[in-house]
A and B are shown apart, each in its own frame.
Chain A
Amino acid sequence: MAERAGAFCARAAALLAAAVLVLGAVIATARAQTAGPAADAPAAVTAAPQAVPLSDDPALEAEVMRIAHDLRCLVCQNETIAASNADLAVDLRGQIRSQLRAGRNEREIIEYMVERYGDFVLFKPPVKPTTWLLWGGPFVLLVAMAGWLAHMLRRRRAEVAAAQAPLSDEERRRARELLGTGAE
């Protein structure tokens, strides 16, 4: 009877999950294909002027964004300087741009930022004594745990081997005593 109930439970849960999934998929698809075409769709979308990139130099801009992506905006602190719309972020992007134009490389620009705003502005924490634990911790933990695991496995294997070894005479005598057979 418990079996029947258990199977029912599993089946009910599976059905529920399937229903939720199907529902979710239907909702998602419906939202993806939103309202139908407008009554009077614009005749010539292609004739409209094409938007131009904001910057005259897309390659430079890509480099600005690449560097800005690893810098933290101090105003909108959960955003990068690349993504943030804050005034300061716009200004700092401008700084990066003009410094790149002046020929500075990424390392110098990062140094410039850290000199003025401290390590906080870096999203990739610098490697210094206070961050050794941060950078090294996971690796050390991995080695430690792997070592511990290897040790435990070895010990268990030894135990299993010992348990499977035939009983010594002494052990056999004790076993007979405990089992109460008493025979020789």
Chain B
Amino acid sequence: MKRYLIPLAVFVVLAGFLAVGLRLNPREVPSPLVDKPAPAFELARLGAPGQRVAHTDLRGRPWVLNVWASWCLPCLAEHPLVGELARSGVTVVGLNYKDKTEDATQWLARHGDPYAMVLVDRDGAVGIDWGVYGVPETFIVDKDGIIRHKHIGPITPQALREDILPLLRRLGG
């Protein structure tokens, strides 16, 4: 009689793991860059190709990198929240990922431009350095240039309220 309890016990444990597993999101791959220095970059600004911005220019205060593209539907969905984030006073830098200049400029004109500046990553090379694998993605970087958080997918009100804004307050932004 007791021997039949062993497979049953194994099954229950397995079912437990599966139950937890079903709630996890396979699209959310944790970033190995958290708590590491932000990857170096030096990019041109959208609409002002002569002006180049490097990662070192952003030291001294916490800032947010928002990866977006005009062809990305969820980016449109999160855009108002990006605006809200910008209004809270933090510097939000947009990374225009694998996009066309005209499309990006038109998109911002139509939907609003909350960004302190928009940097152009035409071929996605900087995206690869930051471990970007989809759009939108949002990174929070502290004043010393260390990445502290990565948000995968569009920013939700809950994420803004519970993760992003509190973290920024802690970082002094």
Known: A75-B134, A87-B98, A91-B124. A116 touches B29 (CB 8 A): no
Q: Is the CB of B26 within 8 A of A116?
A: no
Selected contact of A118 from candidates B31, B98, B134, CB within 8 Å:
B31
Q: Considering only CB atoms and an 8 Å cut-off, how many residues of chain A contact the other chain?
A: 15
Indicate if B30 sits at the interface (CB-CB under 8 A).
Answer: yes
Indicate if B133 sits at the interface (CB-CB under 8 A).
Answer: yes
Tell me the A25-56 residues at the B interface (CB within 8 Å): none
Q: Is the CB of B29 within 8 A of A120?
A: yes
Indicate if A114 sits at the interface (CB-CB under 8 A).
Answer: yes
Q: Tell me the bound Cα distance from A118 to B132 in angstroms.
A: 12
Q: Tell me the bound Cα distance from A87 to B72 in angstroms.
A: 13
Known: A74-B133, A77-B26. A116 touches B32 (CB 8 A): yes
Q: Tell me the bound Cα distance from A87 to B98 in angstroms.
A: 10
Q: Is the CB of A92 within 8 A of B128?
A: yes
- Kindly provide the distance from the CB of A105 to the nearest chain B CB, expressed in whole angstroms: 19
Q: Tell me the bound Cα distance from A172 to B144 in angstroms.
A: 92
Q: Tell me the bound Cα distance from A115 to B147 in angstroms.
A: 14
Could you give 16 example pairs across A and B, Cβ below 8 Å?
Answer: A87-B124, A88-B124, A88-B133, A88-B134, A91-B123, A91-B124, A115-B32, A115-B33, A116-B128, A116-B129, A117-B131, A118-B31, A118-B32, A118-B131, A119-B32, A120-B30
The 3 closest A-B pairs by CB, nearest first: A74-B133, A116-B131, A118-B32
